Amino acid sequence: MLFRSVGYRTEVFNSAQQFLDAYDEQWIGCVVLDMRMPGMSGLELQQKLNDRQSILPIIFMTGHGDVPMAVEAMQGGAIDFIQKPFNDQDLIDRVSQAVAKDLHNREALNEKNEIRQRLNSLTPREHEILDMVVNGRANKVIADDLELSQRTVEIHRARVMEKMQATSLAHLVRMVIAAQSGESSDIGVTRLTRA
């Protein structure tokens, strides 16, 4: 009710296994995860989500928190750890930050995937020229190294810029770098998204 009152759509799961059975990698939002649940613990669920390469941000909450438990949760990638009892507004603020982070991460991931698709559209020769251009080599040097005419290099370079949708050499370099960089015990697990 608290989350719905501020415009979040929620799904509540009674156990970690129930959540895993329903889990969809396309879900957007965050997970509010109790540390102690029947069956699988919150930390075990976090590990299973990590094994599935989930990017859903996790906020742990517990009435039985200790420092080692919080450290383990954070090392596992949790973005927050809140101890019961907590202020409703504090929880809402943390969830808002987590949902914003998820949206930002997904935008960055989509952008990276688009760049990788563009890179995959290049021919082997275009890849070769791209690598040399990104490493600061001039067209004349590339032509000499590849035993091509300078005009041929210019044509390949123009195709690379077009296929990559690069507006400048600096934009092209940024794209290549980006492509290479590679949450109450009776609540159990709650997934939240903006309605």
Q: What is the pTM of this model?
A: 0.70
Over residues 147-155, the mean pLDDT reads: 95
Give the per-residue pLDDT at 164.
Answer: 95
Domain boundaries 2-109+183-194, corresponding CATH code:
3.40.50.2300
114-180 shares the fold of 2-109+183-194: no
Task: Please report, for residues 7, 31, 56, the alpha-carbon distance to residue 78 in angstroms, rounded to integers and kept in the order given.
Answer: 23, 10, 9
Question: Is residue 157 over pLDDT 60?
Answer: yes
* Class of domain 114-180 (CATH, top level): mainly alpha
Q: What are the boundaries of each domain within the chain?
A: 2-109+183-194, 114-180
Instruction: Say if CB 34 and CB 78 are below 8 A apart.
Output: no
Q: Read off the pLDDT of residues 122-149 as tens digits, 9 standing for 90 and up.
A: 999 999 999 999 999 999 999 999 999 9
* Contacts of 86 by beta carbon, 8 Å cutoff, 6+ apart: 61
Token output for 103: 């949206």
